Amino acid sequence: MMRVKGKTLQELVAENRSEIQKDPIKMDRIEDRLEKKWMAWQARK
Of the pLDDT bands very low, low, confident and very high (cuts 50, 70, 90), residue 10 is: confident
Rounded-to-integer distance, Cα 21 and Cα 25, Å:
9
State how far the Cα of 42 lies from the Cα of 20, in Å rounded to an integer: 23
Q: Cβ atoms within 10 A of the Cβ of 10, count?
A: 9
For 1-45, the DSSP string reads ----TT--HHHHHHHTHHHHHH-HHHHHHHHHHHHHHHHHHHHH-
For residue 20, the model assigns a pLDDT of: 65
pTM above 0.75, yes or no: no
